[in-house]
């Protein structure tokens, strides 16, 4: 393996593998780097031979031939898409030799350890072969002519191929799956903006400042081709100007002052024609030295093809993407087999040179189905069938003695109907102290403060919580009204005591949606937020019932792509009862000295201490004998860090409470972001029902799992549309004297998947993990809402792309909820 360093003669780095580089930049850099390396090997073929290497486009180069220890080359590249020729300095330095034979030795007699370097090298070989032919986005590859589906607002959906080599139980396996990614629609920038705005009339009346800010953020970093340039050279958008092309002035070399529109008319009028939209703004770009800027009219720019969109999609785009990505399991497995053939055909020569062969037949394995738990509602036991159950009451109803309905979307008489249906259904479901709504108020506004002011005016008893059901207009989630409501009602003193439950007006106006089922779902959330218990599992399985235990669910949510200022948010929830159904929550924001993205939970010791104190308060000052730590959002390469940092933090939290308090700790990682899929075959196909998916309660712990670690795949939910994805569980630590068995682990996991307050269905991950994810997401909404409230006049904050930066303490303040909320599921 060789380390690759590419620089220009003035030693400016080309490869962008640093932590702060944006994905779009990295993709362009990888492609350029590959071209440089291929040019180098072509030019120096006599010295380097015909054994072409595999190169990941960044820092690693793999070759079956030992060239030298270190060498520096000069590479001259032809005129590129930016309209210029360039010279690069390439340094190749041998870093290590990879013993491929060690893999065969491990699988034959376990005589030597598995080397992750072999896996890395093999993945580089496959990536090198595919990356030169397709557009690479992480480990997914997209053909330029692949089918596209419009998502709206200038975005398109493209399907590609995902590949990754893994060590499985008996041999290495190549994981091949279908992947889907949103891309920018290539072509005219003017047409793109029209699609983004959904209206071409802006081109005559001008683009409003608020829309202009959104467009500028959406297009930042996008590469565009210049139509007036003979070489069609490319530039990268820095921003969209607030001033029109016919008003932006600059000085020519002869000291004359002109505008961008006049300059283009004079310089390119004969060849390009007159500008159609001189009254529209310009694209602003920065030159490589960052000190000079250029301006180009929108109509001379074309968005370059094959640029992935990595910001957060809006709600309509997300809905469309989910719809387009749904595919039955049998169809998906056929697509995967076709993708394997594509991979083999595209990379045949490279694979052969490096001694890799691929079998295009999917691996067959077997799984087991465990029995579903029994659900307890009051004194009634309910049987679960195919991952769902029916219940006509809550296990413990909360008190709903003061509540109101606020119509912020002008649904008229339907708001009164909503109040009547909630009152009627709440009584049926066993909600306690139910009274009719104190008020049904009209407040058609985008102001969260005005809405909550209306709610405060209706409160009768200041000592009791006020539940406000708020009807929001369509698009409120994207316009941040929802975020502001949650921020104000859950974290600020002036709205103390108000609990909000939002519902979109589209669910109220549509008679097919406005049904008792909708009301029932709203009441599930309301009951949980007020401290009630919707349902419980009748018995805790096996050894888990023999001691007092606490279950911790933990997750870390990171800022969106392109946001280099907002911190990561860590959320941990802890169970308070033996069912378990009640949870307390702790939130922390975190950064490191070098990055705003921190993978491990830095303040876990303090967070766990808070949750243990909540547990003591709820259990007559008792502490749990056993802590089960369920962690989400951890990649395989971070397991050691979780063991070293987070389990140590849990131990320290216990010792800080009492020097002799040392409960047993079991740590389990839950992974959802993977591409392993299973398809029923033979006589078991009938188990999949109409959807064809693997039934809930199925787990797989052989053939495709790691040869040394304790891991398994489990389906705990009933897939209805598309192909279900199993959760990959890893037991990474256990203090049990008698090792926990696979059956015991799966029973614990499966039971916890039936405790989720929002639904009467088993879900895909254990409820505490789900709650941690929701709590972290709610904290992001709190930050988002505060940023919008703080700088509404600046119009500088959009989803996932904040231009503002605060001290960490200020972010923490934004996420800190009232004390009365911390032991309730306020985020469901």
| CATH number of this structure's domain 403-529, picked from the four choices 3.10.129.10, 3.10.20.310, 3.40.50.360, 3.40.50.2300 | 3.40.50.2300
Q: In three state form, how does the secondary structure of 461-473 look?
A: CCCCCEEEEEEEC
CB neighbours of 809 closer than 8 A, spacing ≥ 6? none
The whole-number pLDDT of residue 764 equals 97
- pLDDT digit string, tens, across residues 458-492: 998 988 999 999 999 987 776 789 999 999 999 99
Q: Which residue did the predictor score with more confidence, 233 or 711? A: 711
The whole-number pLDDT of residue 793 equals 42
Residue 351 main-chain phi, psi, to 5 deg = -65, -45
Please determine whether the domains at 187-303 and 540-821 fall in the same fold group of CATH: no
Alpha-carbon distance 514 to 271, whole Å?
60
The whole-number pLDDT of residue 145 equals 76
Q: Is the peptide bond before 580 cis (omega within 30 degrees of 0)?
A: yes
Q: Which residue did the predictor score with more confidence, 709 or 594? A: 709
The whole-number pLDDT of residue 616 equals 98
The whole-number pLDDT of residue 802 equals 46
Sign, Cα dihedral of 682, 688, 692, 695: negative
Quickly count: other Cβ atoms within 10 Å of residue 354's Cβ.
23
Which fold is adopted by the domain 187-303?
A: paz domain (2.170.260)
Nearest CA to 677 out of 331, 318, 369 is that of: 331
- pLDDT digit string, tens, across residues 556-600: 999 877 677 789 999 999 999 998 999 999 999 998 877 778 899
The whole-number pLDDT of residue 756 equals 97
- pLDDT digit string, tens, across residues 294-315: 999 999 999 999 999 988 898 8
User: Alpha helix locations (H) across 354-472?
Assistant: 414-428, 448-458
Alpha-carbon distance 28 to 740, whole Å?
48
| Across 385-389, average pLDDT | 94
Query: Comparing 261-275, 605-619, 622-636, which segment has the lowest mean pLDDT?
Result: 261-275
Q: Which residue did the predictor score with more confidence, 715 or 22? A: 715
Place 269 in a pLDDT band, splitting at 50, 70 and 90: confident
> Between β-strands 281-286 and 239-244, what pairing exists: parallel, antiparallel or unpaired?
antiparallel
The whole-number pLDDT of residue 686 equals 87
Per-residue pLDDT for 716 more than 80? yes
Per-residue pLDDT for 148 more than 60? yes
Structure tokens belonging to residue 578: 């033996």
State the DSSP H helix or E strand holding residue 395, giving kind and residue range, or none if neither.
Answer: none
The whole-number pLDDT of residue 58 equals 87
- pLDDT digit string, tens, across residues 53-98: 899 888 999 988 888 889 899 998 876 555 567 889 999 999 989 8
Q: Does the domain at residues 540-821 carry the CATH identifier 1.25.40.340? A: no
Nearest CA to 435 out of 394, 471, 399 is that of: 399
The whole-number pLDDT of residue 347 equals 83
The whole-number pLDDT of residue 797 equals 42
The whole-number pLDDT of residue 559 equals 87
The whole-number pLDDT of residue 83 equals 54
- pLDDT digit string, tens, across residues 155-212: 999 999 999 999 999 999 999 999 999 999 999 999 999 999 988 888 888 888 888 9
CB neighbours of 682 closer than 8 A, spacing ≥ 6? none
Half-sphere exposure of 403 (CA within 13 A, CB side): 29
Average pLDDT of every residue of the chain: 90
Residue 413, sorted as left (phi over 0), alpha (psi -120 to 50) or beta, turns out to be: alpha
Per-residue pLDDT for 36 more than 60? yes
CA dist list (Å): 22 to 26, 27, 221, 309 = 6, 9, 9, 11
Query: Comparing 495-504, 600-609, 647-656, 788-797, which segment has the lowest mean pLDDT?
Result: 788-797
Q: In three state form, how does the secondary structure of 288-334 look?
A: CCCCCEEEEEHHHEEECCCCECCCCCCHHHHHHHHHHHCCCHHHHHH
Per-residue pLDDT for 291 more than 60? yes
| Cβ contacts of 685-692, under 8 Å, gap ≥ 24 | 688/329, 689/386, 691/328, 691/329, 691/718, 691/719, 691/720, 691/721, 691/724, 692/328, 692/329, 692/330
The whole-number pLDDT of residue 519 equals 98
| Across 234-254, average pLDDT | 92
Per-residue pLDDT for 16 more than 60? no
- pLDDT digit string, tens, across residues 753-810: 999 999 999 999 999 999 999 999 999 999 988 887 776 544 444 444 445 668 889 9
CB neighbours of 469 closer than 8 A, spacing ≥ 6? 403, 404, 405, 406, 418, 419, 422, 501, 502, 503, 522, 526
In this structure, are residues 215 and 202 in contact, taking their beta carbons and an 8 Å threshold? no
Secondary structure letter of residue 739 according to DSSP: P
Give the rounded percent of residues in the chain with a pLDDT score beyond 70: 95
For the chain, domain boundaries: 187-303, 403-529, 540-821
């Amino acid at each position: 393996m060789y380390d690759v360093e590419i620089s220009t003669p003035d030693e400016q780095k080309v490869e962008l593998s640093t932590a702060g580089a944006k994905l779009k930049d990295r993709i362009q850099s990888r492609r350029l780097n590959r071209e440089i390396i291929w040019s180098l090997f072509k030019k120096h073929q006599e010295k380097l031979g015909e054994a072409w290497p595999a190169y990941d486009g960044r820092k690693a180069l793999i070759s079956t031939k030992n060239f030298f220890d270190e060498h520096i080359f000069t590479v001259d590249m032809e005129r590129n898409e930016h309209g210029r020729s360039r010279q690069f300095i390439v340094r190749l330095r041998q870093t290590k030799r990879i013993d491929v034979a060690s893999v065969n030795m491990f699988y034959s007699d376990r005589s030597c350890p598995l080397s992750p370097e072999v896996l890395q090298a093999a993945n580089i070989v496959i990536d090198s072969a595919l990356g030169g032919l397709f557009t690479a986005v992480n480990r997914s590859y997209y053909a330029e002519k692949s089918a596209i589906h419009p998502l709206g607002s200038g975005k398109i959906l493209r399907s590609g191929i995902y590949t990754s080599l893994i060590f499985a139980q008996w041999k290495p396996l190549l994981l091949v799956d279908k992947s889907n990614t949103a891309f920018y629609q290539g072509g005219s920038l003017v047409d793109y903006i029209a699609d983004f705005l959904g209206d071409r009339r802006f081109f005559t009346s001008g683009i409003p400042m608020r829309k202009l800010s959104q467009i500028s953020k959406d297009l930042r970093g996008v590469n565009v081709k210049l139509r007036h340039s003979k070489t069609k050279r490319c530039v990268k958008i820095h921003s969209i100007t607030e001033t029109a092309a016919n008003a932006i002035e600059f000085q020519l070399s002869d000291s004359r002052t002109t505008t961008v529109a006049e300059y283009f008319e004079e310089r390119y009028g004969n060849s390009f024609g007159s500008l159609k939209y001189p009254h529209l703004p310009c694209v602003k770009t920065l030159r490589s030295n960052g000190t000079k800027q250029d301006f180009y009219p929108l109509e001379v720019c074309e968005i370059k093809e094959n640029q992935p969109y990595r910001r957060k999609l809006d709600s309509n785009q997300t809905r469309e993407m989910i719809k387009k990505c749904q595919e039955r399991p049998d169809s998906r497995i056929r697509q995967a087999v076709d993708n394997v053939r594509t991979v083999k055909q595209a990379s045949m020569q490279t694979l052969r040179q490096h001694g890799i062969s691929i079998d295009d037949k999917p691996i067959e394995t077997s799984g087991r189905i465990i029995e579903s738990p029994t659900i307890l509602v009051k004194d009634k036991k309910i049987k679960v069938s195919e991952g769902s159950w029916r219940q006509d009451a809550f296990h413990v109803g909360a008190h709903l003695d003061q509540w109101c309905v606020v119509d912020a979307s002008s649904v008229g008489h339907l708001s009164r109907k909503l109040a009547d249906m909630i009152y009627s259904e709440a009584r049926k479901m066993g909600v306690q102290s139910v009274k009719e709504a104190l008020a049904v108020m009209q407040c058609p506004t985008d102001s969260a403060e005005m809405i909550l002011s209306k709610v405060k005016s209706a409160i009768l008893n200041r000592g009791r919580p006020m539940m406000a059901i708020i009807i929001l207009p369509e698009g409120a989630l994207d316009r941040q009204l929802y975020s502001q409501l949650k921020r104000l009602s859950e974290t600020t003193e002036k709205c103390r005591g108000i609990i909000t439950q939002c519902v979109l007006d589209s669910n109220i106006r549509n008679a097919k949606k406005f049904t008792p089922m909708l009301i029932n779902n709203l009441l599930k959330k309301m009951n949980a937020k007020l401290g009630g218990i919707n349902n419980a599992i009748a018995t805790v399985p096996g050894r888990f019932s023999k001691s007092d235990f606490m279950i911790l669910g933990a997750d870390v949510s990171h800022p969106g792509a392109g946001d280099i200022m907002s911190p990561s948010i860590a959320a941990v929830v802890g169970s308070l009862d033996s069912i378990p159904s009640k949870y307390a929550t702790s939130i922390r924001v975190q950064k490191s000295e070098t990055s705003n993205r921190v993978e491990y939970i830095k303040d876990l010791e303090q967070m766990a201490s808070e949750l243990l104190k909540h547990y003591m308060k709820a259990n007559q000052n008792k502490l749990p004998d056993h802590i089960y730590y369920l962690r989400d959002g951890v990649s395989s390469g971070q397991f050691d860090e979780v063991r070293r940092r987070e389990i140590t933090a849990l131990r320290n939290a216990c010792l800080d409470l009492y020097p002799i308090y040392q409960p047993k700790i079991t740590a389990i990682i839950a992974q959802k972001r993977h591409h392993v899929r299973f398809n029923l075959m033979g006589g078991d196909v009938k188990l999949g029902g109409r959807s064809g998916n693997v039934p809930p309660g199925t787990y797989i712990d052989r053939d495709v799992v790691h040869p040394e670690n304790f891991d398994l795949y489990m389906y705990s939910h009933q897939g209805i549309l598309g192909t279900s994805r199993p959760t990959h569980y890893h037991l990474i630590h256990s203090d049990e004297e008698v090792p926990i068995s696979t059956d015991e682990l799966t029973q614990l996991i499966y039971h916890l998947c039936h405790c989720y307050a929002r639904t009467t269905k088993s879900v895909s991950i254990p409820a505490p993990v789900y709650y941690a994810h929701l709590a972290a997401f709610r904290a992001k909404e709190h930050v988002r809402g505060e940023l919008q409230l703080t700088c509404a006049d600046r119009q500088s904050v959009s989803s996932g792309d904040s231009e503002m930066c605060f001290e960490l303490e200020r972010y923490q303040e934004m996420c800190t909820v009232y004390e009365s909320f911390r032991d309730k599921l306020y985020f469901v």
